[in-house]
Structure 1
Amino acid sequence: MVALYAATGFFILPPLIKTRLIEKLSAYTGRKVELGELRLNPFALSTTLRKFTLHERTGGQFMSFDELYINFQTSSLFRWAYTFSIIQLTSPSSNIRIQKDGTFNFHDLLPPAREKSETQQNAPVPLLIQHLVVNRAQMVFEDITRPTPYKQQIAALSFSLKNFTTRPNREGLYEFEAATEEGATLKYRGNLSMAPMYSKGSLELTGIKLRKLWSYLQDQLNFEIAGGELDISGTYEFNITEGLTDLRLQDSSVNVRSLSVLSKEDGEEAITLPHLSFSGTELDYQKREMKIALIQSDSAKIRGKFDKDGKFSLHKMFQPKTTDSSQEMHPKNQSKSGEWQISINKIEIADYALHMKDQTTVPITQLDLSPVNLKIENVKIGSPGTAHIELQVGLNQTGTMKVAGKVSPEPLTADLDVQISKIALPPFDPYVKKHTQLEISDGSLSLNGHLNFSRPGAEQQVDFEGDIRIESARVLDSVLSEDFVRWKRLDLRQVKYDNNPASLSIQEIIARGLYTRIIIGPDRTANVQHILVRDKKPLTETKGQQANDNQLPIRIGQVSIIDSSMNFTDLSLKPNFTSAIQNLNGTVKGLSSEQLARADIDLKGQVDKYAPVVIQGKINPLSEQAYTDITMNFHGIELTTFSPYSGKFAGYKIEKGKLSFELQYKLSQKILIGENHIVLDQFTLGEKVESPDATNLPVRLAIAILKDSHGVIDLNIPVRGDLNDPQFRLAPVIIKAFVNLIAKAATSPFKMLGALVGGEGEELDFVLFTPGSNALSQEQQSKLAKIAKALEERPQLILNLRGTAAESVDRYALAERAILTRIRTQRNIPIESPLAEDEQKRLLKLYREMFRKEDPYDLIPPTDTTGTKIPKDVRRAAVVDAARKKLIEKYPISESDLRTLAQERAEVIKDYMVQQGGLAAPRIFLLEVDTKASATDHEVKMPLALDAR
């Protein structure tokens, strides 16, 4: 019996079972099955299968192994369970593939749903494996449904398992290790129950290659993992009861080592992470709770950039590619009960480096944040809680920023102390260039303040209080490559900002060593005109936006100016013009955007070191309806400073002189009222300068007219204007008024002179004479007296007299005067007096002498037109009158007579100005006479002319 048992077991049954096994498996799976050898040991109750292969339906290999050794135990009869002392599988291999239709290549091996349900109704026989050994297992996983087909091979995996059972409420203690050729290892120790499903133990996975995990998900990700390893360890407890899954983790940790993340867009390395660990992790799946004792990382390098459209590269990298299936798996509206509550005891990040590029600016902005050290304690996510944060960041190796305080995520609130120490400003220059034509070449920012932030709902609340300091700042005009503003130190003390309601207050602004410069370039454009980059938006859109924007209420307690200066340079002139206000000190108190607020301004300085400047008054530049009541006094400015301007526009350099002026301006309700009191002392022009822009006006004369006897020009130029008028500009109005004053003095000197002495200016530029006479009337003498008075106060003026005679009226008057001289014996009788009888006789005698062949009585017939005889006395009077007229018409008056009359008239005026007006004779010049003058209203006009010495 023993021999028969042995023969049957060793020799008869193996080939029978082998054949039957192949047939059954082939029929059940519908696939080709190969089995190289089957051995039985009837005494040990063991079976050995060698060279087994299960093929695909298409012919490829699906599963195989070199050897399967099974040792069955007779104790199964007593245990009421299939009991095996050992099951050992050597070199198992499988090919798992997800096919194009989304099914696995083994889906047809599973029993149909109906058959499966019937099987489940029968209670399964328990299974007990005392020792399960797998040696050199390998598996190939392939997924051809993905856009990038995925194929991964796990090779040389070995592990052992002891006391595995499926008996209800029985736990087995298991411990095994597994390793792969790539260095990944699996260590497990714990117990496992199959009915119900329960397990508790410790698990350790080390050396997991992150690139292999990434390669399967690469089509859903915008980044590439080039390298890195993952370690996972911890204890767990897993239980499935009545369809409910419960998972708990304790004392678990996750470590990421040597992680390298690349951007798919440009292939550049975005993240280099030497170390990241999660330790002391606890998880309760039922309660949706996770606790992490410590998250720690150091020495990471993160590189990011904003593209030209303003999109951040890291955001794009880690933004998942959405698909319909992913949206179904992660619905937007999740119930509150399904949210996790995460608690993190401490987060420590050390020696991080963030390298950021901003391509929205020209040139590209490079910001290097290094080192970045961060500590956060007591972080709560999904539940109320307040975390404490400490952040320290270095910026571009120049300064540091420290943030410390409390942060709560739900609702989001922050209560932070912020300190910034000497952060260099030049790296932020490209952002300034986006909106201005300025360049920050130097300067550092420091800040010490407190920030509160909260967002309880849709609106957010922000308030800040602190001090700001900017040191050694220098801002250039990039168009002219010259300084625009700089200062040694600018302090903003007790800055308070609140956004709800919006308000900004500053207790004091202190500017030390402030220097500003206004430059007119070679193209005659001031730097302040091109500082701001023009907005490309339509004007209507810009106006609409401005109208909708609410004005921010601003309060500034005091602005202090210490040891500051202002400079003005005109590069359009050759030589260049430069002037400066130095040693500027003072305050502006009470600045506010409130409508009725008034700030007191009190500034003092010197122009070019020695000319004092005082600016005082009240202003309100921050309110919507600006208010100004200000006085600016400048005293004793050297006029030679302005020589480039006088050479260009007047054609003369300035020899000497000082300028003082007082400006008083009042602005209210957009109406500007200004008084400009300008005093030029000893203003003297120098040598002539050739300039194509020089005026043709007699500038020297204008200056001489405006100067008084002490060499002072004292002018008052009022200004009126409505700022609502887009054509109104203050500076052009003042300049135009001054230029018009000079032009008036040069072109209408007597009008200006008359205005200066309080006379009728339009009557002082000429003297009227009766035809044929050189006598001055009382009215003309009064006029000359006013001119003499004005000239006495303006010693640089000289009077030019050009005697005039009008042939049309003076010749007749001279002829009449000559005739009356010959017929009258008395010299003081007026010309218009009637002729006496003896004078009539002499007149008729003179007529006969001049017209030898004519009888004067032939001029008047003895009868009138009706033939009536004219009375003798009437005819005689008519004859005398006709003879007189003909004598005057024919009496010879030479050019010399007219010249003599013209000279006499000039000399009469000169005599009056010297003898009656007290004017020095050397200041009066007689010019060549003019005998071709015209007469007006039977009067001869002799023009007067002024000139400057």
Structure 2
Amino acid sequence: MKKRYYVAGGLLLIVAALLFFLSSMVKNYLVKNSPGLTGRKLAIKELHFNYWKAAVSAEGVVLYEKNQVDSFIAFQSLTVDFSPWKLLHREYSFSQISLVEPQLSIEQYADGYNFSDLIPEDDSLAVAENTSDQLIRFSLYNLKMTGGKIRLYDQTVENRITVSNLDFSLPLIAWDNHQSTVGAGFHLGEQGTVQVNALVDQQKQCYTVDLSTTDVQIKPVSNYLTDYFDVSSIRGLLTSDIHISGSLADLMNVQITGWGKLSNASVIDGQGETLLSVPEIRSRIKELDLKNYAFNFSSIEIDQPALAVTRGKEQTNVEQFFAPLLAEDTTQLVQLTMEKGDQQTTSYRVDTLKVNRGSLRFADHTLNRTCTIDLTELNVELQNLSDSSTRMPISFNTKINKSGRFSGQTMVNMQDPFDFYLDGKLQNVDLVSFSPYSEYNIASPFTQGWFSYAIRVKMANGKLQNENDIHVGELEFGKKTGDKPYVKVPVRLALYVMKDAKDNIDINMPVSGSTDDPKFKLGKIIWGAFVNVLSKAALSPFKAMAGLVGTDPEKMEYLNLAYLQDTLENDQLKTLASLAQIMQKKPDLLVTFIQRTNEELEKEKLAVKLAKANYMAEQNVVDLPTDDDSKFRQFLNAKLPAADSLDVEVACSKYIPDNQLNQAFVELLQQRNRMISDYFAEQQIPAGNIYVGVADLENLPDEIRRPEFKVEVSLK
């Protein structure tokens, strides 16, 4: 009798020992035989079976890459709690599955992935057909993942993406539950965050997804665009709040609403130059209907975009940017064929499109010297943009090279390009900025001139009505250059015979015609009118007004200055007094003073002045030293080794910091402007009759690079 108890006790002891060591035995078996089971090396730090809770937990699990060094997939811990009692009701149930700090590395190569060897052959996937009609019941509670990390590497385009702090939560999914909720959040890139919350309604066969992102960097997209654009990098931080709803029964039945913004966006072209930069782009999505291919936006706003366009001998940088896309052989593109009745038309609509305070810098390198044109404070508003728009209004305004302004309204028909309306005004453009064009075309620079142009175009029903009002004030050319002119028209001779009594050029040129005429080109007509404008010039207006004050008109055209001069002298006061008398007799006259100088020489002399001031302050000297003062030269040499081997202007320019010199130069220009304004204020001349400004020093012709005020007149 006792022997029987001993045998039973022994068996129980053996079973208990087996269960106690089972986890270690399984762990050792998996680790030891992992190369044969998976073809990969496997490491497991801990493996535990909880028989009372029917739970399994594993810690420190790593499945290595084929090189047996790098980690393919790893996690800190995995806990699986099974609910065996529900098997009595023929239901497979898990009360919890928890995964902590999983890490996955996915790499794509030209011939496959780093996990391709883990995928079974196609034949091995075959399973026996289940002919049973019995319903499989399952339930999964509390599926959680915390602290996940995914590393993605696409070798084909050398692109790397890291998803970190990945958290995932699924409270319940079961064979009979009507709704399931899913939540996930993770970091994408260095500072981006993504949050996803989804609701799946199995009873109604629909789902909703709320997706929000914060500061997600779009730079990883760049490498996938090189086949279509000449681009090295596209940057920007994406922040969005998107709502997605769809049908489980019809996967294409998806609607998307919400908003998004892209901050600090920029496009770097293939040459490493910034083509476009945008502080912020905002968009509100009215609805994106993927089933009906309908894309509707409430608004798109672009703040302060800066576009840099350069024109070379062959093409512009914008053309080069789009060259790969334009070179695409469209005949080789894959064509999608649909069954009859399944044809779908794509539609789009943007209620409002705005560009706020944009800028465009155009640099033309095809001339004898580069000409730069700056459009600033560019504002564009477009309404009702769509594929079917028949009357789409657009308004715009911008500054051109600081002094000029271009504004207007237009109406565009997206279905008929000859249904068009434009009313635009180009005002007060300084032609000196366009001197490189005149030098190239007629071998003469613009030395002064203001250009205004009002254009009205109406095209409808095959007919054109066009009005062109052109005004050029005070247009003058400098001496002929040694360049060979591109345009053979004798513009300078025409100026001599076409001047009018008011020294202005005013042209009103109406144009009419039929848009059905293949020989009709509106641009050619407008360009002809522009050439005519350039063929007319005005002589100095002071010749007609000199008799009012009995003075030499040439003295009133220029107010000559000395380098570094910042106060008015007697001769200059006399000239200004004559101008004041003219303005008092002609109250509608607007007198403009445009300051010019040789910036390089002015800064050199200004550097000497600042250096002498520093010398006097440090050495406690009262008398201003001469340029060749030995003590002053010793001072420079102490501040700038080998300064005694340089000209004093060069030495001082190297000694004075650039920022200090630039600031002093700006202050000098401002002081000169103030002395003019203050003088006329003392003479009780209305402020609206005076304009004082600075010329475009960067594009100034050499022959007028001297310190002076160019005095011009026009009507207010």
TM-score range, shorter chain: 0.5 to 0.7
Query: In structure 1, what residue type is equivalent to 2:22?
Result: L
Query: In structure 2, what residue type is equivalent to 1:420?
Result: T
Alignment partner for residue 397 of structure 1, among 186, 190, 194? 190
Q: TM-score, normalised by structure 1?
A: 0.50
Considering Cα pairs closer than 8 Å and 6+ residues apart, tell me whether 1 or 2 has the greater RCO.
2
- Corresponding residue SS for 1:534: helix
Counterpart check, 1:425 vs 2:218? yes
Counterpart check, 1:472 vs 2:264? yes
Counterpart check, 1:367 vs 2:181? no
Q: What displacement does 1:345 show? A: 0.9
Write out aligned runs for 1:372-771 (5 A): 372-380=166-174, 385-407=178-200, 413-440=206-233, 442-457=235-250, 459-479=251-271, 481-521=272-312, 523-528=314-319, 530-531=321-322, 533-534=324-325, 538-542=329-333, 550-596=344-390, 598-621=391-414, 628-665=420-457, 677-692=469-484, 694-703=486-495, 708-709=500-501, 710-712=503-505, 714=507, 716=509, 734=523, 738=527, 742=531
Q: What displacement does 1:356 show? A: 0.8
Q: Distance in 1 between matches of 2:60 and 2:279?
A: 47
Counterpart check, 1:217 vs 2:57? no
Equivalence for 1:343: 139
Q: Distance in 1 between matches of 2:88 and 2:460?
A: 72
- Corresponding residue SS for 1:224: coil
Equivalence for 1:30: none
**Aligned-residue identity in percent:** 16
For structure 2, which runs of at least 5 residues remain unmatched after alignment? 536-716
Task: Tell me if structure 1 keeps the 8 A contact 2:383–2:394.
Answer: yes
| CA deviation profile, 1:547-593 (whole Å, cap 9, x unmatched) | 99955322222223322223222133343211122222352222222
Equivalence for 2:79: 277
Q: What displacement does 1:466 show? A: 0.8
Equivalence for 1:319: 119
Task: Tell me if structure 1 keeps the 8 A contact 2:463–2:512.
Answer: no
Query: In structure 2, what residue type is equivalent to 1:738?
Result: W
Distance 1:538 1:412, change over 3 A: farther
Task: Tell me if structure 1 keeps the 8 A contact 2:311–2:364.
Answer: yes
Q: Distance in 2 between matches of 1:693 and 1:546?
A: 57
- Corresponding residue SS for 1:490: strand
Task: Tell me if structure 1 keeps the 8 A contact 2:383–2:393.
Answer: yes
Q: What displacement does 1:695 show? A: 3.6
Task: Tell me if structure 2 keeps the 8 A contact 1:491–1:511.
Answer: yes
Q: Distance in 1 between matches of 2:27 and 2:68?
A: 29
Task: Tell me if structure 1 keeps the 8 A contact 2:349–2:384.
Answer: yes
Q: What displacement does 1:514 show? A: 2.3
Query: In structure 2, what residue type is equivalent to 1:502?
Result: Y
Q: How well do the aligned residues superpose, as a CA RMSD in angstroms?
A: 4.2
What is the aligned residue count?
A: 531
Q: What displacement does 1:403 show? A: 1.0
Query: In structure 2, what residue type is equivalent to 1:177?
Result: A
Task: Tell me if structure 1 keeps the 8 A contact 2:376–2:399.
Answer: yes
Q: Distance in 2 between matches of 1:593 and 1:670?
A: 22
Distance 1:409 1:227, change over 3 A: farther
Query: In structure 2, what residue type is equivalent to 1:450?
Result: H
Q: Which moved more, 1:644-653 or 1:510-519?
A: 510-519
Q: What displacement does 1:540 show? A: 2.8
- Corresponding residue SS for 1:527: helix
Q: What displacement does 1:676 show? A: 5.5
Q: What displacement does 1:227 show? A: 1.5
Distance 1:394 1:655, change over 3 A: same
Q: Distance in 2 between matches of 1:717 and 1:232?
A: 93
Query: In structure 2, what residue type is equivalent to 1:734?
Result: G
Distance 1:568 1:537, change over 3 A: closer
| CA deviation profile, 1:60-86 (whole Å, cap 9, x unmatched) | xxxxxxxxxxxxxxx8xxxxxxxx958
Distance 1:377 1:318, change over 3 A: farther
Equivalence for 1:178: 18
Query: In structure 2, what residue type is equivalent to 1:427?
Result: P
Distance 1:470 1:132, change over 3 A: same
Q: Distance in 2 between matches of 1:673 and 1:131?
A: 114
Structure with the higher strand share, 1 or 2:
1
Q: What displacement does 1:699 show? A: 3.0
Q: Distance in 2 between matches of 1:724 and 1:447?
A: 50
Q: Distance in 2 between matches of 1:633 and 1:388?
A: 59
Task: Tell me if structure 1 keeps the 8 A contact 2:72–2:105.
Answer: yes
Counterpart check, 1:296 vs 2:296? no
Query: In structure 2, what residue type is equivalent to 1:255?
Result: S
Q: Distance in 2 between matches of 1:313 and 1:410?
A: 40
Q: TM-score, normalised by structure 2?
A: 0.64
Q: What displacement does 1:465 show? A: 1.0
Distance 1:264 1:207, change over 3 A: closer
Equivalence for 1:255: 57
